[in-house]
Every structure is written in structure tokens, then in C-alpha cells.
Amino acid sequence: MFTHRPSSRIIIVAIALAFGLAGCSLGGSTNASPTAGSTATTAAATAQSTATTAAAAAPTTSNRPLAQAVATGSSTVATTASPAVATAARTAASPTAGAPTTLPDVAGVAAKVRPATVLVLNLVQARARSGGIPGQMTPGSGALPGQATPGAGTTPQGAGSGFIYDPAGYIITNNHVVEGAQQLKVVLPPPDNRSFDAQLVGRDPQTDLAVLKIDGPNLPTVPLGNSSQLQVGEWVVAIGNALALPGGPTVTEGVVSATGRDEQEPGAQQGTVGPTLYDLIQTDAAINPGNSGGPLVNMRGEVVGINTLGSTQAQGIGFSIAIDGAKTIAQQLRDHGTVTRGYLGIGSATVTPSIAASLGLKATEGVVIGQLHPNGPAAQAGLQQGDVIVGLGEVPVHALQDLQNALTTKYKPGDNVAVKINRNGQEQTIQVTLGQKPTQ
């Protein structure tokens, strides 16, 4: 099960802290950077020896998490037995483990990125309980122990992260971090510590992205990279306000475990489902409650992803929204406050063996049209019920997520695109001018 609320629902965080989770390791790591030559060789040999000794001496339970994944709001804190051993093992397992090597400079990356990684507080009007005073913090009201109310009459209902990517004060974060807020506050990390009321420029629930803006001089920024250039096994660093702990953002390191993942988010209400997110980066860098909206960066300190999802049932599995697709969404939000998507006007489903058999389809993959909306773009262009879409413009369509992703990030209303279909076993192409989805 994956959860997408590492926005640190503070009530449960307070309970977690009371049970001693504050004393557990949260997956952060400390890496030394050998200078060169014999020092690097010694470091590699030491890492190999450490990993081998730990594996031989540890009981079979040593690889189990110290604490089970703890859902916070709808996210997780996953702790591992020894991040240092994991780092040593990774180094020893490297194809160049026997050669001089230099560990990644996580400290250097953190120094570049932490100043622009901000705490985002989602504030709502405080409700007085029986005998309470309006604005006064009461048990379960949402504040961490000892935390003051950030504004008169308001209380934090959640906290997450974001990053300033434009000196004009634009910040990218997750939609679920800001959802339902009556007021938003952004706090820069120490030693800056400035606090700003933030404007919600726009948000897009379908991609779980939002853009905020603050106004202030000399704002730190972090550059945006290219997620398409990531390689599996490449080192990355996740930075964010884990558990909304004081002292500034937490830094964790790991590798790119996979790219191009698709995962469905949980809904805003427990037991419901949310939108499916596409083209995600999977990483084993710890993504803890409060990390939502924070940057996943490469070793050049460039943002390659937005930390979003964590697993409640496995360790070392987290997901970040790839920055390449997020750039398009963020720009639309800045320009229009909303995202406009290409619209075909169809009801559709991914072709599965059972669907293909029941409908007598000759295609084994793609998206089958089950319904055509009257006067919609697809119907007007001549698409028919039972047609199987196998391509949209330059994008191959193997499943519904491919089609939806293309309509979200590549094409817009008014674009004339070639829709490749399989009709009764014969492939053909039909030109369709995309429309705009009617408002409900």
C-alpha cells in the first residue's frame, strides 16, 4: 500500500513522538568523502570489510526495520537497522569496488539545496472546544508539543515541504500539502528563519502539484534538472521537513531504483482512491512524513523530482514526481492558475486478456473505447466504440495511463493529433482536434 501524505498530519506525529519515534533513526546517513589515491582505496576496503563483517555477525532479524512503517495521515515513517551499513554495502557492491573511488558528496549537495527547501504550514481556523478559548491550542488540535500557533485564531492541520526555484519567490510543492488550507505559511530553514504568508498561485489535484509564491528579498533558490537523464543506480538526495522537526530540513540519500513508475494515490478520505500519478521516480532515499513537496536532487544539486509517495508495507520504496513533466504543469499554474488538458471525449479502459476475449478484440494492448461522448472530439473525427487506441501523436499507447499522461503533459486543447487505432484487426490513423473538457 502506498500513501501520499508525507505532509505530516501533526496530530498523529505528536502521538508518534510520544511513543519514542523521535529516538529512532529515520534513514539519514553520513558519508565521508575521501580525498584521493590511497585514502579512497582505504575507504573502499573499509566499506567492503564493514559490510562483510556486519552481514556475518548480524542475526537474521538484523535486516528487519527497527519500527514498523507508521502511517502518519496517510504516509509512513520507515526506519532501517543501520543506514551506515547500507551505505557501506552499496559501496562494496559497486562494480568498481576494488578500485579507488569517492563516496558521493552528500554534505556538499545538502549545503546547496537546504537553504531553498522550505517548511509549508497548512493553516485552518481554530475551533474552540467546550470551555476552550478561540485560537487556543487544545489536545488533538494539530500542533506539535511545544509548538506555538503560527497565527492568531489559526492552527496547523498539516505540514509539508517545498522548494524555491525562482528568485521571484515561486515555490513548487504537492497539492495534498496545501489542500483545504485557509491560510498558508512558508518558513525558511535556519539560519535564515524568515517566515512568509504564501499565496496559492494554483494547484492541480490530478498531478498532485501546486505552486506558491512569497515576496521577499534575497531568496535562495535551487535549479531544476532533467529527470530524463537519470540512470537507474544513480545517487540522489531527498530533502524535506521530516515530521516537521525543528532545526530545518532532513537529508537522506539513496539511489534511483527505477524510473517510469505509475502509482495510484490514496484519496483525501480514508478508504478512497485518488488520481494515478505517472512517470514517477522510485528511490530508496527515505521519504518520511513531512517530506511531501520537497526536492529529490542529483549530485549536482539539481531538482530531478518532487517527493510525494511512501510505502506503508516495505522499506526503501518511495516515489517522486519527475521534474520534466512537473515543469509543464508548474508553468501552466503560473500562467493560468489551473491546468488545461487535451480532451478526446471518450470512456475507455486498458485492454486486458479478459476484455479482449469478451469483446472479441484482435488487439492485445492499448486502450479500448467503450463510450463516445456525443459531439465530442473523438466522435466528430470518426472514432467508433470498440476501436483500440494504440498511439496518440508520437506517444505509443500501451495502457490507459499512457493516454492520460500524453493528454496531461504533451498535448493541449486545439492540438490536431494523429490517433492510431486498431479497428477489427486493421491499424489506421485518424486526425482528431482535441477539445477542452466541459466543466461539471
Active-site residue numbers?
A: 176, 208, 292
Cell readout for 124 is 485552518
Distance in angstroms (rounded) separating the CA atoms of residues 403 and 127: 44
Q: How far apart are CA 119 and CA 189, in angstroms?
A: 8
Query: How many angstroms separate the most distant Cα atoms in the chain?
Result: 73
3-state secondary structure of 407: helix
Taking the CA atoms of 173, 176, 182 and 188 in sequence, report the sign of the dihedral they define: negative
* 342 residue type, one letter: G
| 239 closest CA partner among 5, 17, 6, 79 | 6
Find where cell 530545518 sits: 248
For 282, the 3-state DSSP assignment is: strand
Letter for the amino acid at 343? Y
Distance CA 48, CA 92 (A): 5
Residue 411 burial (CB count, 10 A):
20
Region of 149 (left: φ > 0; alpha: ψ -120 to 50; beta: rest) is beta
Cell of 382: 470518426
Start-end of H helices in 284-398: 323-336, 353-359, 377-381
N-terminal to C-terminal alpha carbon distance within the chain: 31
Give one DSSP letter per residue of 191-228, joined into a string. TT--EEE-EEEEEETTTTEEEEE---SS-----B--GG
- With beta carbons less than 8 A apart as the criterion, state whether 163 and 294 touch: yes
